[in-house]
Structure 1
Amino acid sequence: MADLDFGQFEGREFHPSPAAMEDEVLYFLMLDRFSDGRERDYLDVDGQPVTDGTTPPLRPGDHGNAVTTPEDKARFEGSGVNWLGGTLAGLRTKLGYLRRLGVTAVWISPVLRQAPGTNSYHGYATQNFLDVDPHFGTAGELRELVKAAHDENIRVILDVVLNHAGDVFGYDPDRYRTPQGFFDARWDGNPYKIEGFRDASGKPLLPYGPDLPDSAWPDGAVWPAELQQPGTFTGKGRISNWDWFPEFLEGDFEGLKDVNLGAGPVDAYRPSAGLKALTRAYQYWIAYADLDGFRVDTVKHMDPGAARYFASAIHEFAQSIGKDNFYLIAEITGDRGFAYRTLEQVGMDAALGIADVQDRLEGLVKGYRDPVEYFDLFRNSYEVGKDSHTWFRDRVVTSYDDHDQVRKGQSKARFASGAGNDRLALAALALNATTLGIPCVYYGSEQAFDGHGDNDRYIREAMFGGDFGPFRSRGGHAFDETNPIYRDLSRVLRLRRRLPALRRGRQYLREISGDGDSFGLPRMLGGRMLSVVPWSRLLAGAEVVCAINTDPDHSRTAWVTVDNELHTQGDSLTCLFSTDQAAEGERVRVEPRNGKAVRLTVPAAGFVLYA
Structure 2
Amino acid sequence: MIRKYSLTSLFFVFFISLSFAQKIDRVEPISWWTGMKDTRLQLTVYGNKIGERGVEISYPGVYVKKIHRVENPNYLFIDLDISSEAKPGIVPLRFVKKGEKAIPYSYTLEAKSDASNRIMGVNSKDVIYQIMPDRFANGDPKNDIVKGMREVKLNRDSMYYRHGGDLKGLISKLDYIKDLGFTAIWLTPVLENDMGNASYHGYAITNHYKVDPRFGTNELYKQFVEECHKRGIKVVKDIIHNHFGDQHWTIRDLPFKDWLHQWPTFTQTTYKDQTAMDPYAADIDKKQMLNGWFVESMPDLNQENELVQNYINQHIIWWVEYSGLDGLRLDTYPYNNLDYMREWALRMNLEFPKLSVFGETLVNSVISQAFFSRGNKLNQGIETALPGVIDVQVKDAIFETLNGSFGWTSGVNQLYTVLSQDFVYQDPTQNVLFLDNHDLSRSYSILGENLQKFKTAYSILLTTRGIPQIYYGTEILMKNFSNPDGLVRSDFPGGWADDKVDKFTAKGRTAEENEFYNHLKKVLHYRKNTTALQDGKLMQYVPVDGVYVYFRYDDSKTVMLVVNSNKEMSELPLDRFQQRIKGAKHANNILEDTTISLTENIKIPAGAALILELLQE
TM-score in same-fold range (> 0.5): yes
Whether contact under 8 Å (2:156, 2:163) holds in the other structure is: no
- 2:138 aligned partner: 36
Cα drift, residue 249 of structure 1 = 0.8
Q: CA deviation at 1:420?
A: 4.5
Q: Cα–Cα, structure 1 residues 419 and 378, in superposed 2: closer, same or farther, change >3 Å?
A: closer
Whether contact under 8 Å (1:295, 1:328) holds in the other structure is yes
AA partner of residue 606 (structure 1): A
Question: Partners in 1 of 2:601 and 2:416 — Cα distance?
Answer: 22
Partner letter of residue 315 of structure 1? Answer: N
Distance in 1 (alpha carbons) for counterparts of 2:417 and 2:354 = 27
TM-superposed deviation, 1:534: 2.7
Give the whole-Å Cα distance in 1 for the aligned partners of 2:306 and 2:361. 22
Which of 490, 510, 531 is the matching residue for 1:461? 490
Distance 1:341 1:419 in 2: 33
Aligned-residue offset at 1:260: 3.4
Structure 2: state its 5+ residue gaps: 1-27, 34-108, 142-153, 273-284, 375-382
For residues 122 and 156 of structure 2, the distance between their equivalents in structure 1, rounded to whole angstroms, comes to 42
Deviation at 1:92, TM superposition (A): 0.9
What does residue 299 of structure 2 align with? 258
Contact residue 294 and residue 300 of structure 2 kept, 8 A:
no
What SS is found at the alignment partner of 2:373?
A: helix
Equivalent AA in structure 2 for residue 587 of structure 1? I
Give the equivalent residue in structure 1 for 2:432: 397
Asked if the contact 2:532–2:552 (Cα under 8 Å) also holds between the matched residues in 1, the reply is: yes
The structure-2 alpha-carbon separation of the partners of 1:327 and 1:133, relative to structure 1 and needing over 3 Å to count, comes to same
**Normalization by structure 1: what TM-score?**
0.70
1:436 aligns with 2:465: yes
Deviation of residue 106 (structure 1)?
0.6
Q: Are the equivalent residues in 2 in contact too, given 1:545–1:609 (CA < 8 A)?
A: yes
CA separation of 1:246 and 1:11: change in aligned 2, threshold 3 A: closer
**Count of aligned pairs:** 466
For 1:527, the equivalent position in structure 2 comes to: none
Q: Is residue 201 of structure 2 the alignment partner of residue 122 of structure 1?
A: yes
Which string of whole-angstrom CA distances, capped at 9 and with x for unpartnered residues, describes residues 98-156 of structure 1? 11111111111011111332212111000110100112111111011110000110000
1:572 equivalent to 2:581? Answer no
Deviation at 1:348, TM superposition (A): 1.6
> Residue 395 of structure 2 corresponds to which residue in structure 1?
358
| 1-structure distance, mates of 2:505, 2:563 | 24
* CA–CA distance in structure 1, aligned partners of residues 121 and 214 of structure 2: 35
Change (3 A) 1:340 1:366: same
Work out whether 1:80 is the aligned partner of 2:159.
yes
Q: Report the CA distance shift for 1:238/1:573 in structure 2 as closer, same or farther (over 3 A).
A: farther
Q: 2:505, 2:564 → 1: CA distance?
A: 25
Task: Write out per-residue CA displacement over residues 504-551 of structure 1, whole angstroms, 9 at most, x where no aligned residue.
Answer: 22223335xxxxxxxxx235xxxxxxx543321132484210123445
Give the drift of 1:88: 1.0
Residues 538 and 551, structure 2, Cα contact 8 Å, conserved in 1: yes
Tell me which residue corresponds to 2:50: none
Q: Does 1:8 align with 2:110?
A: yes
2:129 counterpart of 1:27: yes
Check 1:555–1:91 CA distance in 2 against 1; reply closer, same or farther (3 A cut): farther
Whether contact under 8 Å (1:532, 1:557) holds in the other structure is no
CA contact (8 A) 2:400 2:414 kept: no
Residue 160 of structure 1 and its aligned partner are, at CA, apart by 0.8
Task: Give distance in 2, aligned partners of 1:436 and 1:17.
Answer: 23
Indicate the residue corresponding to 2:72 in structure 1. none
The residue matched to 2:371 in structure 1 has which SS?
helix
Task: Please tell me whether residue 448 in structure 1 is matched to residue 444 in structure 2.
Answer: no
* 2:372 maps to which of 330, 342, 356: 342
Q: What secondary structure, in the 3-state scheme, does the structure 2 residue paired with 1:564 have? A: helix
Measure, in 2, the Cα distance between the counterparts of 1:163 and 1:534.
41
- How far residue 159 of structure 1 moved from its aligned partner, in angstroms, is 0.5
SS of residue paired to 1:608: strand
Aligned to 2:610: 608
Per the alignment, residue 276 of structure 2 pairs with none
**Residue of structure 1 aligned with 2:554, choices 529, 536, 539:** 539
Q: d(CA) in 1 for partners of 2:372 and 2:603?
A: 42
CA shift digits 1:193-247 (9 cap, x unpaired): xxx977xxxxxxx6x34xxxxxxxxxxxxxxxxxx44421113334152223111
Report the Cα distance in structure 1 between the residues aligned to 2:527 and 2:423, rounded to whole angstroms.
Answer: 29
Name the SS for the 1:450 alignment partner: coil
Partner of 1:501: 532
Quick one: percent identity of the two aligned structures?
21
Equivalent pair of 1:413/1:458 in contact (CA under 8 Å): no
Structure 1 gap ranges (5+): 40-74, 170-195, 199-205, 210-227, 264-270, 319-323, 385-389, 406-411, 512-520, 524-530, 591-597
2:334, 2:384 → 1: CA distance? 11
Going from structure 1 to structure 2, the CA distance change for 1:326 and 1:562 (only over 3 Å counts) comes to farther
CA separation in 1, counterparts of 2:505 and 2:399?
24
Give the structure-2-normalised TM-score: 0.69
Bigger drift between 479-488 and 557-566 goes to 557-566
Where does residue 52 of structure 1 map in the other structure?
Answer: none
Could you say which residue in structure 2 is the equivalent of 1:144? Answer: 223
